[in-house]
Amino acid sequence: MIHYQVRCAAGHEFDGWFRDAASYERQAKARAIECPACGNRNIERAPMAPALGRVRAQPAREEAPAPKTTPASPDVAAGGVMPDHLRAILQRLRTEVEKTCDYVGGAFADEARKIHRGESERRGIYGETTPAQAQALSDEGIEVASIPWVRRAES
């Protein structure tokens, strides 16, 4: 992944993560990148300081695995509050997923496999699955994504 600081035509700057430079260029040209502050799709890379690595004075040690933690509520950021612009983007994403995909609940992994094998109608689905089931789907070549599920926007 590559990190760019990007800016919309209105001057809002925000972070963007892309598979590679070519991926950024394709998305920017297709106007597929949207400013989280105003929705503007005229995006360009903004100047940013280079990321410099630190030299270690000591030999690298084998690190202990990170302790397992309970995931935070999907509606709360690390500081306890999700920024409004991020919440708005995730609410729009939720609305789009609910409008265009079928909810399959806890049968997500099974239904994804059926679709992948051609045993069920090819369509977008969403539901619940365990991290182990999601990894197994990925290992089988079935694309899955975990989406932070925020409360619906109030009308």
78 is a domain residue: no
Among residues 50, 47, 36, the alpha carbon closest in space to that of 8 is found at 36
77 is a domain residue: no
Phi, psi of 134 (to 5 degrees): -65, -40
93 is a domain residue: yes
152 is a domain residue: no
What's the domain count of the chain?
2
- Return the pLDDT at 125: 93
- Sequence-ordered list of residues with C-beta below 8 angstroms from that of 126, at least 6 positions apart, any chain: 97, 98, 101, 102, 103, 104, 108, 147
61 is a domain residue: no
pTM, two decimals, is 0.48
115 is a domain residue: yes
Among residues 88, 80, 1, 91, the alpha carbon closest in space to that of 39 is found at 88
Q: Which domain holds residue 14?
A: 2-45
CB of 151 closer than 8 Å to CB of 95: no
Whole-number Cα distances in Å, 76 to 48, 67, 81, 148:
28, 20, 5, 10
25 is a domain residue: yes
- CA dihedral for 87, 92, 93, 95, sign (positive or negative): positive
pLDDT tens, residue by residue, 66-109: 544 444 344 444 555 778 888 888 889 989 999 999 999 999 99
Which residues of the chain, if any, have pLDDT below 50? 51-53, 67-77
135 is a domain residue: yes
- Return the pLDDT at 118: 93
Phi, psi of 18 (to 5 degrees): -135, 155
